[in-house]
Amino acid sequence: MAPAPAPVNCRPLIKSEFTFPVNSTPFLMCHASTIVEDGKWFAPAIADNQTGVPMWNPALFKLPSKEVLLFYKVGPSTQQWSGCMKRSYDFGFTWSRREQLPPGILGPIKNKPLLLGNGTLLCGTSVESWNSWGAWVEMTHDAGIDGVKLTDGRLLLAYNTVSRAILKVAISPDDGDTWKEVLTLEDTTGMEFSYPAVIQASDGFVHITYTYNRTQIKHVVLQPNCL
């Protein structure tokens, strides 16, 4: 379905907020976020912990059944970590016991998985050399990206360009063959805006969260028909 023309004076960015009040974050550093649909932010709660062992790169995914999956890694380093998962049946208020993924299966490293038509969860990976890949938009090599397929058929991507100091949004009308930069979310020299996470909610609005200079999580809401 082709998108309708953007209304005159349409504002793409309709909300911008931090998930914690300024100077009140309950941790020293903040590196990544994931997002599921809701209207409120609650106080953070511990989903898992293990004394002396780091836990890495969480990724949330809500199944059509409303079950929420939490994928993450456990281990002293990226070379020694293993994939784990927890389940929630009450939208993240409580979690099941830790489930160890099969040997060699890490699950999604940071970005949410994709649910295929046959019910399979696709967690992207590659064993190819880096020089087998090409980028269709200008982007830095050391930062995360995330995107979503909009209900109008277009693809939306949140990404850093030449550095983490710049965070932009791009749109593809042809399943990724071509891309157009449509919005700059952040552009401040000397700061970092990293690890975006993107969803489209049932009301059609696009929600993006990202790490704000490693100290906060910022949440923005976009009107896709204005992009």
Are 155 and 109 within one domain? no
* Per-range mean pLDDT, top range of 144-153, 178-187, 211-220: 178-187
* Per-range mean pLDDT, top range of 3-12, 135-144, 178-187: 178-187
Are 129 and 166 within one domain? no
Give the confidence band of 204 by pLDDT, cuts at 50, 70, 90.
very high
Torsions phi, psi of 206, nearest 5? -100, 130
> Residue 195 sits in which domain range?
147-226
Residue 35 lies in a domain: yes
101-119: pLDDT as tens digits: 999 889 888 778 877 778 8
Rounded to an integer, what distance in angstroms lies between the CA atom of residue 107 and that of residue 82? 9
Residue 122, pLDDT > 70, answer yes
Query: If 0-12 CB within 10 Å is exposed, 13-18 middle and 19+ buried, where does residue 165 land?
Result: middle
Are 162 and 126 within one domain? no
Are 121 and 106 within one domain? yes
Domain tally for the chain?
Answer: 2
49-106: pLDDT as tens digits: 999 999 988 888 888 898 999 999 999 998 899 999 999 998 888 999 999 999 988 9
Q: Are 195 and 176 in contact (CB under 8 A)?
A: no
Rounded average pLDDT over 205-224: 92
Residue 20 lies in a domain: no
Residue 18 lies in a domain: no
